[in-house]
Every structure is written in structure tokens, then in C-alpha cells.
Chains A and B, each alone.
Chain A
Amino acid sequence: MTKIKVGSIAHSRSGDKGAGSNVGVIAYDKKSYEILDKTLTPEAVKKHFSKICFGSVEKYCVPNLLALNFILNDSLGGGGSASLKTDAQGKTHGQAILLMEIEIEIDE
């Protein structure tokens, strides 16, 4: 097993969804998509964002785009104009998931 950063095999984009954010993770190839699908469980993503996301994490697969979509509920400090946070729209959450470390088999 070895540790790699999500950002080494995927790119991302995020935005707001009410009081939560969406984080789209797009793998650079099919094999990376399979690795990400296996390792990026809602629990693992929730743990990575533990000081940001205070609600549940939902996961959706978009295999035709080699992409996974995560909804991070309650992650914006209220959302919209109710939030006091600098990133009230979750625009930086996509960059944050690229910093996440995942464990992969060496031969992967």
C-alpha cells in the first residue's frame, strides 16, 4: 500500500447547493476513476472535511464523465448571504479534496 493525493489522479470543481456544497471529482483515466470510486466513500470524504462539513455526505457516480459528485450538507456556515464565512459558496472545496490522501495498492 502507498499513499497518494487525490490531486495526482483527478481534477475537481465545486459550488454551492443551498446550505451545502457540491464537490465534483473527475479522474484523469478509467483506472483512476475505479480507485477513486473505491476509496472516496462518503465516510472518508466526511472525515476529510470534518471541520467544514457538519451534515451528511452524499455520493453520486457519473462514470461516463469519469466523475464522482459529492454533496456536503451543512458546509457553508448557513449558505448564501446568511454565512459569515469567506467561502460562503464552497468555491474552494474542490481544491480541498485534491489535498486528500488515499491509500492504494502499489501495483495500482
Chain B
Amino acid sequence: MKTKVRIANGQGFWGDSIDAPVNLVKYGKIDYLTLDYLAEVTMSIMQKLKMRNPEMGYASDFIDLIEKILPECVEKNIKIIANAGGVNPMACLNKIIETAKKLGLKGIKFAVVEGDDILNSLDGLMEKGCEFKNMDTNEAIIKIRNKVLSANAYIGAEPIVEALRMGASVIVTGRSTDTALTMAPMIYEFNWSLKDYDKLASGTIAGHIIECGAQCTGGNFTKWQEVPDLANVGYPIIEAYADGSFIVTKPEDSGGLVSIDTVSEQLLYEMGNPESYITPDVVAHFTTIHLEEESKNRVKVTGIKGSPETPTLKVSINYLNGYKAIGQLTISGPDALAKAKLCAEIVWKRLEKIGITFTEENKLVEYLGVNTCHEGIGNAPGEITEVVLRIGAKDKDKSKVDRFGKEIAPLVTSGPPGVTGFAGGRPKATEIVEYWPALMPRELITTKVTIREV
């Protein structure tokens, strides 16, 4: 048994740095590379891609990445665990196997974890008594059933551990939790029991700290002036020990900062009740975490306690709920803000004249530089000589939203003076995909691990 295992995360979301995982493989001295590609809305984007082409529906960036790093990972014995499979993990697996063959690699075991996708079994599950009530609003699913685009249960570390035990060195999953990707190697390497809740809670919190990539190594940090060389920021590495303690660090000679402050900020990120951070594997208690700075860029985390997992799994359902469009104009010169306000007023008046109106909550007007992010907070700027008007509308009726999108450009010539910056054409109506969180009994989900050897 290893005394310590180094697990890195090279991707916080689909769209994160292309080079970060490459640098971790090169300079991180790591045993495992995890990659978290999935956010709530990502599943529905992938589902739409799959509807257009049944071979798609996964994070395509992952294939390019595999091509870049797989030979070096094989050479250095670095295992890769990614929830890049999205809503089509098998297609993703086929593509990476194709890539491995193209690279001339041999003797590698690939694994895919399936079973989280319940889109096609939703009605059957409802017949079995699953209510899929909205966790936030308590509404019944029947209200949105015919608009559902994707439905996935969050699954935990167990099937990934199974894949590791079967000898896989590249593991692709669907909607595995972000934290399971980091914790599975610890369970496997240290042979932790799935009932050892304190250790599982440690692994979960380690995963939570690194799941957003550079957000624990100096990115998005309040005291940004104190962070050296963000351009060269190192992505995070967990140095895990068998007793559940771990160290948060980053590759040597990389930029960024790992301190109690940067780690604390990330611990608080997207936190709900700190007493019960619920995952499929364990309920972790954030109120038991102890942090200490071991040395420069090394924070030691100890003392974490956990409780048994809940009898339910969380389900991420996405559904289509109307359309939206947003456009921008730049207004300059004297009285810039007053002119921007007139522009917005003109848009709504011209639409009203042809019988198109939006309810107040379906309209949005922002003046970028004045009130966009912190309305009512801090001092409003005095006389400003340029401002960006950002104007948007949404509705169930797509044609209304498209018509709105055509009413912005004319302001350049038919509004007040100094209006410019209408780039990118007319904004078109795009689908609004809404998130419907629900719970279901965990025994109704069966995960399946498939191994393929090249």
C-alpha cells in the first residue's frame, strides 16, 4: 500500500484551461489526474448535441486532451479519471480508444461507468413511485414532464473504485459527483471501507477543494495583489494519506498561491449548510475541518468527520422553459447614462407599438459600469462619458423574443447621438434550459462498469 497518493484536478468545468492538465502531467509528480467537466446546465447542452448526432453528447475537449497527454501518462503511470462522458459515456470511450490506437499505445485498460442517465427510464421510475418533486419549490414533475431534456442521478465513488480494481488506467463517467473523482483513488489505494465515514468525508472535502481548479490556488482570491504570477497559475494537487489527512498544494515552480486563506475561500464556495454537505457517498461536516500551513504553498487538512450517506440520490433534471435574447450597445459622450436610458425606453416603446410586450420580470436593462453587479451597493459613479447598455428579454413565445432582438440595431441611427458598438449581429432567441433538482431512492440506480483493453 502506498503511504501517500498525489491526485490533481486539471479542469474545473467544460471550458476551463486547455494547458492546465498538460502542465500537471508534466510538472505535477502526480499519480492521478482528475478532470471535472460537468455543471448542472452542461448535461442539457450535451443532450442537445446528442439529439443532433447520436455519436456526440460528451466533452469533446477531453478527446484532444487525451491525444496530448496519454503517452506521457502511460509512461509515468498516471491514471486519468474524468466525468467527460456527459450523456454519452460509451461514445466518449470509443473515441478515446480510437485515439489511443492512433497513438500506437498498447496494453492499456479503459473503463466506462454508466447507469446515471435516467432520461429514458423516467416514466418507468415515476410508475414505481418516484415523484421527482422539485427540491427547491416542491412542485410536481408533471408540470414539466414533456419539456425534460436530460435527467441524471448523481453517482458516487464506488463504481470508479470498482474500475480501478479491475485495472483501468483511464476512467470515463457520466454524472459522477465532482468529489467522487478525487475520492475514488484514495478508497482504492488505501483500501478504505465504504463505512469509514470520517475518511470518506475527508476524501469528499479534498474533492470539494480542488473541483474548481485554480480557485484554491490563487484564482478568484480576494487578496489578488498578494498572488504571484497568476498567468502561470498551478492547478491543485491533493497529497492524500491513509489516515484521511491530506495536503493541498500545486506543482513546484508554478504561479499562484496555496494558503489557509485561499483554501478557506474555496471551502466556502457554493456552500449550503456547513453541517451537512450531502454527497452520494457520505454526509461531510465542514464544521470539523482544521487547516494549518505546513510550509509555503502546502496547507494541511485534518480532523474531518462524516456521517452515513442518505437513502436518496440527487437527480439533476433539465427542461426547456422558453427563450431569451440579450443585446448590447455602447453609448458615449455627454449625458451618456441618460442617453442609454432613453435607448432602452425606445426599444420597449417601439415593440409596444406593434403589440409586443414583456412582463417586468421578463425584461432586463443593465448599464454596464454603473449598476450591473452591485445595484444599490457602493457609490454610483458621477458624470460618466460612456456606458454599455445591456438589454434582454425572455418569453415562452420564441417569435416575440426574436422580434425584440431586431429592435436594438436601429438605435444606432434612430436614437440619441454617440451610440455605437453594435457588433455580432442581431441577438437571436436561444433556449432557456432550467434546472430541476429532485431526489430518488438510491436502490433504483444500478451502475455498470465496462472495461475495454487496447
- Return the contact of B373 from the options A69, A80, A96 (Cβ within 8 A): A96
The residue on B at minimum CB distance from A20 is B136
**A45 CB to nearest B CB, Å:** 11
Query: Is the beta-carbon distance between B372 and A82 smaller than 8 angstroms?
Result: no
Q: How far is the CA of A60 from the CA of B291 in the complex (A)?
A: 19
Q: Given the known inter-chain contacts A52-B376, A86-B368, please indicate yes or no for A12 contacting B272, CB distance below 8 A.
A: no
Q: Is A15 an interface residue (CB 8 A)?
A: yes
- Return the contact of B377 from the options A24, A61, A99 (Cβ within 8 A): A99
Q: How far is the CA of A19 from the CA of B264 in the complex (A)?
A: 24
Query: Is the beta-carbon distance between A82 and B394 smaller than 8 angstroms?
Result: yes
Q: How far is the CA of A58 from the CA of B376 in the complex (A)?
A: 20
Q: Given the known inter-chain contacts A11-B223, A13-B269, A22-B271, please indicate yes or no for A62 contacting B374, CB distance below 8 A.
A: no
Q: Is B392 an interface residue (CB 8 A)?
A: yes
**A58 CB to nearest B CB, Å:** 8
Docked complex: A24-68 residues within 8 A CB-CB of B: 24, 26, 48-52, 60-67
Total A-B residue contacts, Cβ distance less than 8 Å: 130
Binding site secondary structure of chain A:
mixed
Query: Is the beta-carbon distance between B373 and A86 smaller than 8 angstroms?
Result: yes
Binding site secondary structure of chain B:
mixed
Q: Is A71 an interface residue (CB 8 A)?
A: yes
Query: Is the beta-carbon distance between B374 and A64 smaller than 8 angstroms?
Result: no
Chain A residues closer than 8 Å to B364, beta-carbon distance: 77, 84-85
Query: Is the beta-carbon distance between A22 and B373 smaller than 8 angstroms?
Result: no
Query: Is the beta-carbon distance between A13 and B265 smaller than 8 angstroms?
Result: yes
Q: How far is the CA of A27 from the CA of B288 in the complex (A)?
A: 17
**A42 CB to nearest B CB, Å:** 14
Sample of 8 more A-B contacts, CB < 8 Å, known A15-B269, A50-B376, A52-B377: A13-B266, A19-B136, A22-B269, A26-B261, A48-B377, A64-B288, A65-B286, A99-B378
A-B contact pairs, 24 of them (CB 8 A): A12-B268, A13-B222, A13-B265, A13-B268, A13-B269, A22-B269, A22-B270, A24-B267, A52-B376, A62-B287, A64-B288, A65-B264, A65-B268, A69-B271, A71-B272, A80-B434, A82-B394, A84-B326, A85-B364, A85-B366, A86-B372, A87-B373, A91-B220, A99-B378
Residues of B within 8 A of A (CB): 40-41, 136, 215, 220-223, 261, 264-275, 286-291, 321, 324, 326, 363-364, 366, 368, 372-378, 390, 392-394, 431-435, 437
